[in-house]
């Protein structure tokens, strides 16, 4: 016991979790990499800064200044620069990747082998890759093996390198799929002058960071023409609406848009000449003014797209393509794209925005089930409040985390909180449920669905009232509108496998040290890639998406699947053992197999669409499992040709197994 504890406390995870980070690597010697390196060093952390340019290495090591990218700011002696990635990451307990988005994929191809997979890998880049339309996080997920994925995090928010460099107060968001990883990064970065908020909405934080760059170009241009503060405020506000539409369409959260990574960074970048993106727009506009006596051709030459460090330049093309692909209306971003990539005159593009047909803001009470999301986002929060007095202060609506559910179920109380499953109202565009502040009533809301990804409705899950993870989040009225008038009572706890199972899960706030160690070690993506016959050859992006299912610890004795009852989930075992058993006679269970890490159970009922033919029970002290709803699983695998065949094979195997089990039940096997 003593020795295993001692071993644990020496593991990199434990050291990082305790906040005792001593050495980090910052990969990228531009302005932001240097500022972040200096900030971390100000906490006494040894920072190994990788820079691409030898002059940067020499300047940092010789003069303690990055005279190329962050001139005039003295750097701590704890920042040591190197041109070797291997040297930079040596012994690092956290790695910060801070290079412009267009170079990330190539950089990873060349340097991936040096990157440690067991420590947080934090990306601070803001942009969208032109060719693939991927955010930095999506690039990392695609380009790095599964073992890295649980340690990925992003940092976003209003943070000019120059201000961080001189220690001015700054607040940012660190988002990670794994809340514990975000917490570790928070601990490493936080100081009195540098606040870090954690979040789990990685895609939302990244898209906000990328979009604000494009919008800042528009604001800079508007200011460059002298259009005034009214015009800039309108661009920021309508830009926010564009940001909201895209982020929500991609599955991001409303709370991210109203937070530091969204509004915070948008306001900063759109109104300060410290921003390279704003300045780019400003320069484009002022260069095109007649007093500069430049021809249009000269201006175009002057503005070299390939050398620009302003991420918004390249991102504007990516946003244009993404908006087209997802049918999201983004007129301001489209204008920036047209100017930069289509050679449209900048003033004409901005004026065109003013000339758009006048629209009336729709009253939410006129909206019906089935109306499109684009209509909904036109409604202001004030209007929504006004139109729905019954809803009360928005802060009183508590919800947390989306999960994929099957239609046709009523909401049910689970474990002191409420789990609500989508009620099939014939709407394929997705719904959301939220409870009132006392979690006694619920109602349905329409929400932009992640249906492009899974084709299913979603709902929001409320956690245990006492759980540390329950928080009241104010939904932006624009993205959360009731489908039907009035509230419904949440029925009281009823029996059934689903409720009993969920009630037996050990909630995150009760996880012990051993469990956290298991969480950091178990990589469901690799387990599914390597261990699941059904998923052999299936695209990594799909398996990656599947690995985002609910990860839980279930106590010994928890019945995950009950023979004869409906089952709507698959379980991937990450740790521990499960027993598969059938009833052998009154009060007698016959164990037909044992499952361990990497194995999947629940496929048969999904494939046959019948009630469970066997029970599955946790037999180890506890089991760490990934729970995947059938509907989510099936929708994710749609269009994977090889999967159908394998499903058939599994079905046949299970039928043979069931026959054998039946013989056991009838005792015929023992007679043979
Ligand atoms: N500067 C800021 O205030 C700030 C703040 C937050 C986030 N960011 C983000 O950080 C990222 C990096 O920006 P920055 O301001 O540190 O950079 P920068 O514009 O100061 O410098 C450009 C960087 O790109 C690197 N680079 C150029 N060509 C490269 C290539 N082919 N491969 C790899 N690297 C190459 C250079 O070495 C240099 O480090 C961007 O995504 C930016 O949006 C910047
Ligand atoms: O200089 P910009 O325009 O790249 O903006 C820097 C940061 O992203 C601001 O948060």
What are the residue ranges spanned by the domains of the chain? 10-200, 207-354, 364-371+381-489, 497-665
The pLDDT, as a whole number, for residue 18 is: 41
User: Residue 24's closest CA among 32, 36, 8, 14?
Assistant: 36
Phi and psi torsions of 327, nearest 5°: 50, 50
The pLDDT, as a whole number, for residue 552 is: 86
Ligand 1 neighbour 260 (Cβ under 6 A): no
328-360 tens-digit pLDDT: 889 999 999 999 999 999 888 988 887 765 543
Rg (CA), the chain: 27
The pLDDT, as a whole number, for residue 72 is: 95
Ligand 1 neighbour 98 (Cβ under 6 A): yes
Look at 134-148, 332-346, 487-501, 542-556 and tell me which has the smallest mean pLDDT. Answer: 487-501
Distance, C-alpha 477 to centroid of its chain: 21
367-402 tens-digit pLDDT: 232 222 222 222 233 333 333 333 333 322 323 222
Cα gap 138→455, rounded to integer Å: 20
Ligand 1 neighbour 412 (Cβ under 6 A): no
Name the residue with the closest Cα to ligand 2, atom 6.
160
428-443 tens-digit pLDDT: 233 444 544 444 555 5
On whether the CB atoms of residues 443 and 449 are closer than 8 A, the answer is no
- Residue 485: band (very low, low, confident or very high) from pLDDT cuts 50, 70, 90: low
Ligand 1 neighbour 417 (Cβ under 6 A): no
Structure tokens given for 347? 């003033």
- Residue 498: band (very low, low, confident or very high) from pLDDT cuts 50, 70, 90: low
Angle, helix 331-342 to helix 202-224, in steps of 10 degrees: 70
Structure tokens given for 235? 């661009």
Residue 630, CB-side half-sphere exposure with 13 Å CA sphere:
16
**Is the complex ipTM more than 0.85?**
yes
Other CB atoms within 10 Å distance of the CB of residue 1: 5
Q: What does the mean pLDDT of the chain come to?
A: 75
CATH code of domain 497-665: 2.60.120.10
Ligand 1 centroid to Cα of residue 233, in Å, is: 28
**What mean pLDDT comes out for the span 444-456?**
36
Q: Is 212 marked active-site? A: yes
The pLDDT, as a whole number, for residue 116 is: 96
Number of H helices, E strands in the chain: 30, 25
What's domain 207-354's architecture?
Answer: Orthogonal Bundle (1.10)
Q: Which CATH superfamily is domain 10-200 in?
A: NAD(P)-binding Rossmann-like Domain (3.40.50.720)
Structure tokens given for 89? 């990451």
Question: Degrees (nearest 5) of the Cα angle 613, 419, 472?
Answer: 155
Question: Degrees (nearest 5) of the Cα angle 624, 543, 243?
Answer: 105
Residue of 101, 210, 265 to mutate, ligand 2, most atoms within 8 A of C-beta: 265
Most confident listed range (345-359, 445-459, 574-588): 574-588
| Helix or strand holding residue 248 (H, E) | helix 229-249
Residue of 30, 58, 273 to mutate, ligand 1, most atoms within 8 A of C-beta: 30
User: Is a pLDDT exceeding 80 seen at residue 76?
Assistant: yes
- Residue 168: band (very low, low, confident or very high) from pLDDT cuts 50, 70, 90: very high
Other CB atoms within 10 Å distance of the CB of residue 595: 20
Other CB atoms within 10 Å distance of the CB of residue 110: 9
- Residue 631: band (very low, low, confident or very high) from pLDDT cuts 50, 70, 90: confident
Ligand 2 centroid to Cα of residue 268, in Å, is: 8
The pLDDT, as a whole number, for residue 301 is: 43
- Residue 300: band (very low, low, confident or very high) from pLDDT cuts 50, 70, 90: very low
User: Is a pLDDT exceeding 60 seen at residue 507?
Assistant: yes
588-600 tens-digit pLDDT: 778 888 999 888 8
The pLDDT, as a whole number, for residue 497 is: 58
Structure tokens given for 262? 């969204």
215-260 tens-digit pLDDT: 999 999 999 999 999 999 999 999 999 999 898 888 888 789 999 9
**What mean pLDDT comes out for the span 609-637?**
84
User: Is a pLDDT exceeding 80 seen at residue 208?
Assistant: yes
Q: Which residues partner with 582 through β-bridges?
A: 590
For the residues of 363-396, what is the DSSP string, one character each? PGGG--TT--HHHHTTS-HHHHHHH-GGG--GGG
- Looking up tokens 């000269």, which residue turns up? 298
User: Is a pLDDT exceeding 90 seen at residue 576?
Assistant: yes
Q: 85-106 burial by CB neighbour count: b if 16+ within 10 A, else e?
A: beebbeebbbbbbbbbbbebbe
Grouping H, G, I as helix, E, B as strand and the rest as coil, residue 181 is: helix
> What percent of the chain has a predicted confidence (pLDDT) above 70?
69
**Parallel, antiparallel, or unpaired: how do β-strands 441-446 and 481-482 relate?**
antiparallel
The pLDDT, as a whole number, for residue 319 is: 97
Name the residue with the closest Cα to ligand 1, atom 36.
30
On whether the CB atoms of residues 156 and 172 are closer than 8 A, the answer is yes
Cα gap 636→606, rounded to integer Å: 14
- Looking up tokens 């620009």, which residue turns up? 308
Other CB atoms within 10 Å distance of the CB of residue 231: 18
Other CB atoms within 10 Å distance of the CB of residue 285: 24
């Amino acid at each position: 016991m003593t020795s295993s504890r001692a071993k644990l406390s020496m593991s990199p995870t434990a050291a990082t979790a305790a906040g005792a980070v001593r050495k980090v690597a910052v990969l990228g010697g531009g302005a932001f990499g240097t500022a972040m390196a200096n900030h971390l060093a100000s906490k006494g952390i040894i920072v190994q800064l990788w820079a691409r340019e030898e002059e940067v290495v020499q300047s940092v090591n010789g003069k303690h200044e990055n005279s190329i990218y962050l001139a005039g700011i003295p750097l701590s002696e704890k920042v040591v620069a190197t041109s070797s990635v291997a040297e930079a990451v040596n012994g690092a307990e956290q790695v910060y990747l801070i290079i412009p988005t267009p170079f990330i994929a190539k950089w990873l191809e060349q340097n991936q082998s040096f990157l440690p997979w067991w420590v947080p890998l934090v990306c601070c880049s803001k942009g969208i890759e032109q060719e693939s339309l991927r955010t930095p996080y999506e690039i990392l997920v695609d380009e790095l093996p599964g073992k890295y994925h649980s340690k990925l995090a992003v940092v976003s928010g209003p943070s000019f390198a120059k201000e961080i460099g001189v220690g001015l107060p700054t607040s940012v968001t660190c988002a990670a799929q794994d809340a514990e990883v975000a917490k570790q990064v928070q601990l490493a970065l936080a100081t009195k002058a540098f606040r870090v908020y954690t979040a789990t909405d990685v895609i939302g934080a990244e898209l906000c960071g990328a979009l604000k760059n494009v919008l800042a170009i528009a604001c800079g241009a508007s200011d460059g023409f002298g259009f005034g503060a009214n015009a800039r405020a309108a661009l920021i506000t309508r830009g926010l609406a564009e940001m909201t539409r895209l982020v929500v369409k991609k599955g991001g959260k409303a709370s991210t848009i109203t937070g530091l990574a969204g509004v915070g960074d948008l306001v900063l970048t759109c109104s300060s000449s410290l921003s390279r993106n704003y300045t780019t727009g400003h320069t484009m506009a002022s260069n095109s003014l007649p007093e500069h006596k430049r021809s249009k051709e000269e201006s175009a030459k002057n503005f070299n797209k390939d050398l620009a460090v302003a991420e918004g330049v390249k991102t504007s093309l990516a946003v244009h393509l993404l908006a087209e692909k997802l049918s999201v209306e983004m007129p301001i971003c489209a204008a920036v794209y047209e100017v930069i990539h289509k050679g449209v005159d900048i003033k004409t593009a901005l004026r065109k925005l003013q000339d758009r047909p006048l629209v009336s803001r729709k009253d939410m009470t006129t909206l019906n089930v089935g109306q499109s999301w684009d209509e909904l986002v036109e409604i202001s929060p004030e209007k929504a409040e006004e139109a729905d007095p019954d809803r009360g202060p928005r802060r009183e609506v508590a919800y947390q985390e989306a999960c994929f559910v099957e239609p046709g179920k009523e909401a049910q109380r689970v474990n002191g909180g409420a789990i609500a499953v989508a009620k099939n109202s014939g709407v394929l565009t997705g719904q959301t449920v939220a409870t009132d502040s006392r979690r006694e009533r619920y109602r349905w809301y329409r929400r932009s669905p992640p249906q492009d990804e899974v084709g299913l409705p979603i709902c929001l899950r409320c956690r245990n009232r006492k759980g540390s993870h329950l928080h009241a989040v104010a939904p932006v009225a624009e993205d959360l509108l009731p489908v039907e008038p009035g509230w419904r009572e949440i029925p009281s706890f009823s029996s059934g496998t689903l409720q009993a199972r969920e009630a037996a899960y050990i909630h995150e706030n009760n996880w012990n040290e051993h469990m956290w160690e298991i969480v950091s070690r178990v990589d469901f993506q690799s387990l599914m890639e390597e261990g699941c016959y059904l998923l052999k050859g299936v695209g990594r992006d799909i398996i990656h998406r599947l690995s985002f299912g609910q990860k839980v610890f279930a106590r010994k004795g928890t019945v995950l699947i009950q023979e004869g009852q409906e089952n709507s989930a698959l379980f991937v075992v990450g740790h521990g053992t499960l027993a598969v058993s059938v009833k052998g006679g009154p009060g007698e269970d016959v164990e037909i197999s044992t499952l361990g890490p990497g194995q999947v159970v629940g496929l048969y009922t999904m494939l046959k669409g019948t009630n469970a033919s066997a029970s599955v029970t946790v037999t180890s002290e506890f089991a760490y499992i990934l729970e995947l709803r059938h509907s989510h699983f099936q929708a994710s695998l749609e269009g994977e040709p090889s999967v159908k065949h394998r499903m058939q094979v599994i079905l046949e195997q299970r039928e043979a197994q069931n026959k054998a089990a039946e013989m056991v039940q009838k005792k015929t096997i023992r007679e043979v």
